[in-house]
Structure 1
Amino acid sequence: MKKKWSKFANIYKKLKLNAKLFITITLIMLTTLVFVLGGLQYSFSLYDEQLYAKSSQVLMMSSDSIEEELERVEEVNYNIAVDPQIQKILMELQGNVNKYDFYRLEQELEDELAKYVGSEKYIQSIYLFDLAGREFLAGSSSNPIKKTDKDLAFKQADKDDGENHWMVIDGNNGDLMSVRLIRSYENLNFERLGHLIVRVDLDKIVRDLPKPQGEIAGNIVMTKGNQIFYSEKGINLPKDYQLRAKNDQGYGIENINGERTIVNHIKTDFQEWTYWSIIPFNMMFSKITAAKYTLVSVFMFMFVLLITLGFNFLRKITNPILDLATTMQEVQKGDFTVVHSLDPSMSHEDEIGILYQNFKTMIEKIDELIQENYSKQLLIKETEFKALQAQINPHFLYNTLESINWLARTNKQEQISNMVQALSHLLRNSLSFKNDIITFKEELDIVSSYITIQKYRFDDKFHFQMDIPFFVAKYKIPKLILQPILENTFKHVVESSVDTSFIKLSAYQQEGKLFIRIEDNGPGIDPLIIQKVKEGKVKPRGTGIGLNNIDDRIKLYSGEQYGLKIENLSGKGTAITVVLPAQTG
């Protein structure tokens, strides 16, 4: 962890000022936002708990109100069952009555039932059945009871033996039936007189409940066991959805129709029903969510505002410094003319203006010193180049004159004429100081003249081969770099050998460089000896000018990455490679 922190710290130190400002302000704002949101989240959590408690309280009040109304209906149901007039009529209906008497009794019975229908506003209709199964109705008849529901109600009433039983009608949301068996109370014989069904409009009871306004106004759902028998209009529960109460009272968050929903529940002793309050999450927490988004929006606005103001303020400081740093980088690359492109408006009297002026003055003085020193170095190099080149001319001239003298004394032939012509051409090119840089083709002409002279000197004692591509003939090289190498080869290979010597001159181009290679089959040259000669640790045989001179000239002409490379061949012999830039100018 410490290493990672150290790594981030190093990266931060290398950033530009603008980036550091952005990161610093961002960290400060994010830290502030974390603390603010943390405090608000804690406050909202307390508020959430109050909402849950309040919604549970409202649900409990609603369940009490519903059960209170249903208990009133039970009371009406009981009053009907023990009403003396109604019991009298039912007993008369058990005998043999003609149509007229039946009609009279029917009217009297329905009139009695009508009195009870109007006593409670939530009673939808009252059904009374005598032992013969004849139906007597008071109230609304728009939705008659199905035979299956009626038979089930009779069975349940017989089972409860005079006790009230609340029955849910399947398929009718909020349609309840209070079912009771009517027994005779005359002389306390408790004979069966019929069945009583009181239909109640539960949906109307729920609609008339006093509901609070705002977040805690949810929709009511009622279940018995896991079966939903009533759901308030306004909520659409999936068909396969089941509400399960793990305890008598509680709340939780569930996903209903893809929406997070607050679900409160309370279980009562009344018929073992469970009351549920279904509140969509967005409905309850709409204000809280709006407050959170508003806070984040204000924070982002303040963040952008602070960043903008901070950058505008810092730009007046950092831009001149960045401009100066960029100029310094260009100067580091060797371009001193960029100091003239510095913003002249930065020449005010503050610290940055003084830094600008001092830097500009310093660079101008450095440029003057460099130009002066460069001119002196050019003069020194040119002098060294001329001096090194001049050292070759007497060295070679003496050897050539010795060869001509030897040939004249021994052979006394006309071939001397050809040697003199070759020597004349060679001296004319080597002693001319007019052009220090010539084409590779011109250098090959000098080599050809030199080889002509050596052929007359050594006859068939050596075999010379050239492999030069035509396209390298146009490249420019320093004059007289191949002839001294060939001279060194003849001295150490051809002169000291009794057998025929082989010498090969080849050239090729690779990666922008010109490689000229001279190979022989002589005894070889140890590169360590050459290195020690260059370092002054070993004194060379002869004048010590040849190879060292060529290597120095090439480096003066092209640079330190060019020069001579010496290697001993795997079999026998030496290969000397001249490395030059492949250029025509």
Structure 2
Amino acid sequence: MKHIQKKRRLFQSIITTSLLSISAAALLAGAAITYFTYYFLIQEKGKSRVEVLQQISDSNIVNRTSMVNVMNMVYEEYYSLLMEPGGSAAVEERMRGTASLLRRIGMDYTVDILMNDKRVFSTGSDEKNIRSLTTTYWYIKHYSGETDTSWNLRFLDKDDISSFGLSYGRTIYSPEGDPLGVIIVTTAQEALFRTFQQLVSDGVTVYILDRNGIIISHSNPQRVGNWMANIEAFEQDHGRNSSHLVRKRGGNVMFSNYHDPGSGWTFVEEQSVDSLLKDGLMMLQQCVLVVLLGGLLTGWAAFVRVRCVTDVFADFSERIRGMPADRLTLLPVLDNYEETYVLSTTFNGMITRIQGLIRDIQLREQEKQRTEYDFLHAQIDPHFLNNTLLAVKSLLAMGEMERAGRMMNELVDLLHIPSTPEIQFVTLEEELHLVRNYTPL
């Protein structure tokens, strides 16, 4: 009975250890997944959303420049005709010529002129475009003369790419400054709107603000032409070319924006985090499931393995515990072992200290020899110079000018090398040569 209770306690400890290990692994996995989610959402997804907005902007850069050039040409050609009384026939004739010119040079542009007196001129035959324009606040601002020039990226059906169009409008004023109408240049090149259409079709709130904060385009076409925000205040709140999370409409929204320095437009996208991470959350759920399954399998394998080992040790301990005392061999206790250990440890310590003392004596002896050598060298140099000068003095007194001159020259050569900093290295052969020349003198 006791044997069974001991095994049960052992198994309980094993199970507890396994559960703690699994819990720790699950916590680590949860922390890793949380960090991964944050990094994936804020940095990776945020960067990708800004890049998408930049693609929409880049796809329209060349097109915007061409549309401005076409608008300038049309305004110069048609302004005088529109100012003439009864010039409608001439305007229509010029419209046909403009349409032929645009087709010939391959520009998919439509030119519409909407006068405030209800006259309408167009190079196209689709009246839906004109009707959709006249019902917008964007057109009303041109009609009233509140706006001189503005842009409009709109669509009639988000699922029909052919209904997307980028328009550039310019208000026509009389010589007195009264608004008379508006000239509109529209392009419907489908390749320019693929990315924009994809965002709108996915239910993303996307819009474009001009440099004055007026909505050029919006996933809700009714908001086009309205003023939304001051651009400076907008950049202070949300930054420029950035992406971050905001609380909006009762949920978390990824707010991304890209500012085009050429046009001054700001492209903005507001996307729900749930829809943005739909695929990512599914992948994270699968990762969590795999981690949990891996932890359970690892815990079960560890439990089985430890149980096999503990069964053997439990049986062995029971057999030893039940063995009679006469079958066990008593091990003698050796007192001299401790003495030997203490003696050897003390001897090793003494040897180590003796080695340290010997190294210290050697260092001191080397320092002593170096000091004696430096002192001797300092004594030899003055004696050498004194003896040389006395010898030169004696030669001069004896009248041996030539020999005294040669001795001074050899002394100068001998002292020139060590006193010249430019000479870094001197061979031994050269030094011996100088000494041999000086010694006979």
TM-score, normalised to structure 2's length? 0.49
The structure that is strand-richer by fraction is 1
Relative contact order (alpha carbons < 8 A, sep ≥ 6): 1 or 2 greater?
A: 2
Which structure's CA Rg is the greater one? 1
The structure that is helix-richer by fraction is 2
